[in-house]
A and B are shown apart, each in its own frame.
Chain A
Amino acid sequence: MRNTFLIFRRDYLGYVRAWGFWLSLAAVPLFMIIGGTFALFAAKSSPVRYYAVVEPAAVYADAIEGEFALNDEDASQQARDLAANMDLSPEQHAALQAGNAAPPRKFIRVPAPADSIDDLRPYLMGHRLVSGPLGDKPLFAVFIPSADGKDLEYWSDDVNVGALRATAANAMRRLARQQALSEAGLGSDFLDRVDASALQVSAHRIRTVADQTTTGSEVTMADRAPVFVAGGLAYFLWLMIFSIIQYLLMGTIEERSNKIFDTLLTSVKLTELLAGKLLAVFAVTSTMMLSWGLFAFGASLFATSQIPGGASLLSPFLAAFANPAIIIPGLISFLLGYVMYGMIFMALGSLCDTIQEAQTLLSPMMILLMLPMFAIFIAFQDPGSPIIDIASWIPVFTPFLLILRMPHDPPLWEIVAQMLIMALTALAILWLATKVYRAGAVHGAGIGDLGGVFKRMFRRKR
């Protein structure tokens, strides 16, 4: 145990003392901060623009303004729906119902300063300004009905900003429908009334009578959170295994090229050496992932603290994390999966003399790792799919798929049997990888001589 710790300590300190480790550690939070700040800045700094509609009757202009108002109402409704899942005080709920939760408008209508496109050109090109509620600004866009009345022409100096034109197009469709309905004597709100009278399709989760009495049957975030947590855990395992490939390959290459194995093997047992190295890489990647996770958690806490009742958004996820039925099998799968894949990579690394040799192994390893990624994706979409049922019995997929199936209460015998298969496979891989490692490290077998590797693997050992 002491020797394992000493090997672990040396390797771990070796990794964390490298500047690349700190660069990686800082990169993700830095990227998140820069990305978040940039998105926020982009949203806030997006300018408010003036537009005008050239028409005497203001029918089109009112239709466009009406479309903007409908969009605002939709955004407010989404905010109210989200708030319904939060622990808000009655006053806060009332304020939300009364207020407009939509983001501020980015397009403001101003009176058209001229009637023809030739006369409007200096305003649209920024040579002249128009007055509006936010002061004098260039005219961003103008709508002019075409001569034949079949088109509402959109003129602007910047045609890449498409939001205004899209809103106007929706407004024109809605206007045409309303006019058609009025002409048919059905009233302009006929379709809205029809939609409102349609049967709503509400989701209910079937539970035992006792559970249904206490928690009801409505589908809430508490029902969905375990799936997200399991998905996150499976993806985390995948990401961790993906991250360790290079550490394990390069770590063993360093020892092989430094000719250090003989010295080590007269001081520690091979199993202690392997355990120490595997633990060190596990600790390095855990340090990174936990640091990123803590940063993300801290950022989430901060973000939710800024929203009244926001903490209640996190509580279903925290409850799912604390659920032993998910987290215990999840952690066991996680560890066994790590040992299985880690030992494979370390054994292969022990056969390489150079980084170039190791790089030739990276592609097949990536392909090997893409298979579970596809399985994770399918299982997340449809965990009950027969292909996922079958794949979950294949040891290379089991760690990921068992985690993902846990929220769906698979039969206990399946969980136990799959864990047993995983444990036996992990043991078999440990045994085999130790043989490969010994062949590579002690007997000098190389990746280019697989026949020799096989022969050396089954020599007697200490």
Chain B
Amino acid sequence: MRTPPLVMTQVTKRFGAFTAVSDLSLEVPEGAIIGFLGPNGAGKSTSLRMALGVMQPDSGSVSLFGKPPEIATLKRVGFLPEERGLYKKMTPRSSIEHFARLKGLSAQAARARANELLDTAGLGDFKSTRISKLSKGMAQKVQILSTLAHQPDFLILDEPFSGLDPVNQQVLEDLIRAEHARGATILFSTHVMEHAERLCDRIVMMARGRKVFDGTLDDAFGSLGRGARIGVTEGFDLAAALEPRGFEAHRAPDAGQGDAWRILLPRGTGAQDALRAAIEAGAPIVGFAPEEARLRDVFVSLVGEADAAALVESEAGEAA
């Protein structure tokens, strides 16, 4: 069996009294695309920085390709940090070339690769333009290309979709799939669940520095159980109304007028049964939908409504 690109074992990181990551264990097998999910401040970036050896854990261990993170093994890794940065006075070509050479490519190979990547990404006309003169999206593309230039075995992308418009988000999704098809293992963090739903075959969810879920998408949806959504006029406590009738209700992210509630359907019941119970309880219903489960709901069911609200805020911030 091949050595997994990344193994983190009971890793903890504190900043003073604040515990950023607590007892995190994680294994990234070769060839996987893993989504690292959670709201802002969940500990995703700190975990990734520890995985790369940029930051040291207070306890626990990190193994990158079977060894502690060191420059020799990091040459097999491509890392896109959350806080994007390039030398603004450099050109896209020289920037990609510089980072590719730092990862071990020869001058000639690095230049050829930079030209190839820029042409493929539609930035061929901007090879010699200063990065300071490029748009934010273009500069971000250049940084992503810098991460891929040395054709790494393992890609760690911290919030790669952040700051990209929908068109470029799709371009990046395609790029990630292409890298995966080439054979690269991919671990990316995001707080936008839809990206993970589309790309990942496994997800790891974090909340308040702790891992709250680690499994496949099927596992995630399986853990959620079936449900239904009922909208009621604002202020009505549907949870209290349905509890005597054997249904558990949780507030769901608002999706229109009134308050949205998610109803967990006990085994042997259907969405229609939940609707009937709500009508019988005198709920002022304004909307109803049998639920098709989403990762967001899995997250809500796992971490509770307070952390789910943080996720909603993160997504809203991203959308803004």
Contact = CB atoms under 8 A, between A and B. Distances in A.
Q: Which of A17, A259, A266, A442 has the most CB of B within 10 A?
A: A266
Q: Which of B84, B88, B99 has the most CB of A within 10 A?
A: B99
Nearest to B100: A267
Contacts of B56: 459-462
Contacts, number: 71
Contact of A267 (B69, B85, B86, B103): B103
B101 A258 contact: no
Q: Which of B69, B71, B74, B84 has the most CB of A within 10 A?
A: B71
B52 A260 contact: no
B89 A14 contact: yes
A442 to B, nearest CB: 6
Given A6-B101, A267-B74, A442-B55, A262 B90 contact: no
Interface in A250-272: 254-255, 258-269
Contact of A263 (B55, B70, B79): B79
A267 B89 contact: no
- Looking at chain A's contact residues, the main secondary structure is loop
A3 interface: yes
B71 A267 contact: yes
Interface in A80-133: none
A205 interface: no
Nearest to A260: B85
B87 to A, nearest CB: 6
Interface in A383-442: 442
Interface string B42-76: 00000001001111101000000000011100110
Given A265-B54, A268-B71, A462-B56, A260 B102 contact: no
Contact of A10 (B69, B85, B98): B98
Q: How large is the interface on B (under 10, 10 to 19, 20 to 34, 35 or more residues)?
A: 20 to 34
Contacts of B103: 267
Contacts of A255: 85
The 8 closest A-B pairs by CB, nearest first: A259-B85, A259-B83, A260-B85, A267-B102, A262-B81, A258-B85, A460-B56, A266-B79
Given A260-B87, A266-B53, A460-B56, 15 more contacts: A3-B71, A3-B102, A10-B87, A14-B87, A17-B89, A18-B89, A254-B87, A259-B83, A261-B85, A262-B54, A263-B81, A263-B143, A266-B74, A266-B77, A462-B53
15 contacts: A3-B102, A6-B101, A10-B98, A17-B89, A18-B89, A260-B87, A261-B85, A262-B49, A263-B79, A266-B74, A442-B55, A443-B55, A460-B56, A462-B54, A462-B69
Interface of B: 16, 49, 52-56, 58, 69-71, 74-75, 77, 79, 81, 83-90, 98-99, 101-103, 143, 146
